[in-house]
Structure 1
Amino acid sequence: MRYIAPILIGLLYVLLMSLIPEPHRRRFNAVMIAGAGAAYLSGGALGGWEFAFTAVATYVAYRGLDSWTFIGVGWLLHTAWDVVHHLKGHPIIPFAHDSSFGCALCDPVIALWCFGGGRSPWEWLRGRRAPMSFAESSGHPSVRVAQPPRSDA
């Protein structure tokens, strides 16, 4: 159960987040990265490195407001921080010794979902892609995608 429960928690997170419509889903997940980046801050086990990680996570979360890729990167960064804390620091939940280990198993599940565009599993099963924001469809918010001329014939 030590290995299975964190993966199931990651899948449950994906299912629950999929209930939030886009683009709110992406923005909400960016906020979650910001929170995850500060999760170890009060433990202080790694001194000033805790602040450095929080700063990096905050930047990644800000970029995640417009990019599922950055949100996925944020979850992988948090995975690495979980491993460091499991080996050298304090657990994320003080009274649960293996909580950082579990978090390190859960976070990559969420990251994979984010790298896939944060699509709802129900849309994926039906073979449809969730609607993308204009910024994601063009790759850059200031670039407009040319549409082919409309044929009325």
Structure 2
Amino acid sequence: MTYLTPILVGVLYAAAMSLIREPHRRRFNAIMVAGAGAAYLSGGGFGGWEFLATAVITYVAYRGLESWTFIGIAWLLHTAWDLLHHFKGNPIIPFSHDSSLACAVCDPVIALWCLRGGPSLFGLVRGRSARTTNTADVTPPA
């Protein structure tokens, strides 16, 4: 469950974001990852480095306002910060020891979705079922 639940959370995040139409979906996700980049500020596990990490992730998220690739990169940067916090023993949720590890498993799922251009998961499912239906209707050449 340590790994499965965060993966499901990442997929559910992408599904929920799929309800937002473009270009708003991309911009909203840029704001979300910028917020995630500031999640460790209150814990201060790495002192002043927390501000630098937040600044870098915020800048990359800002570039993500116009690019899904930058949003994906920002989620991967957050993943690296999650792992550092996990190994240091300074989790994102102080009373949940493995919360940073869970975040480090969830974030790459979101990053992969973003690096694919943040497509609507519902559109992908509908497109796949439509292709299957259309393929069945095609008669092979004689």
1:21-100 to structure 2, matched below 5 A, reads 21-100=21-100
RMSD: 1.1
Q: Confirm or deny: 8 A CA contact 1:46 1:89 kept in the other structure.
A: no
In structure 2, stretches of 5+ residues that fail to align are 129-142
Distance, in Å, in 2 between the alignment partners of 1:58 and 1:110 is: 17
TM-superposed deviation, 1:122: 1.9
Distance, in Å, in 1 between the alignment partners of 2:50 and 2:89 is: 10
Distance, in Å, in 1 between the alignment partners of 2:41 and 2:66 is: 26
Bigger share in helix = 2
Distance, in Å, in 1 between the alignment partners of 2:114 and 2:64 is: 10
TM-superposed deviation, 1:89: 4.6
TM-superposed deviation, 1:85: 0.1
Give the 3-state SS of the residue equivalent to 2:44 in structure 1. Answer: coil
Letter in 1 for 2:21: P
Distance, in Å, in 2 between the alignment partners of 1:70 and 1:80 is: 15
Q: What is the aligned-residue identity percentage? A: 73
Distance, in Å, in 1 between the alignment partners of 2:6 and 2:122 is: 22
Q: Confirm or deny: 8 A CA contact 2:89 2:97 kept in the other structure.
A: no
So what's the TM-score if we normalise by structure 1?
Answer: 0.81
Q: How many residues align?
A: 128
Task: Name the counterpart of 1:113.
Answer: 113
Letter in 1 for 2:8: L
Distance, in Å, in 2 between the alignment partners of 1:89 and 1:75 is: 21
TM-superposed deviation, 1:125: 2.7
TM-superposed deviation, 1:124: 1.9
Task: Name the counterpart of 1:4.
Answer: 4
Distance, in Å, in 2 between the alignment partners of 1:10 and 1:53 is: 22
Q: Confirm or deny: 8 A CA contact 1:72 1:115 kept in the other structure.
A: yes
Distance, in Å, in 2 between the alignment partners of 1:111 and 1:57 is: 13
In structure 1, stretches of 5+ residues that fail to align are 129-153
So what's the TM-score if we normalise by structure 2?
Answer: 0.87
Task: Name the counterpart of 2:103.
Answer: 103
- Structure 1 stretches (4+) deviating beyond 6 angstroms? none
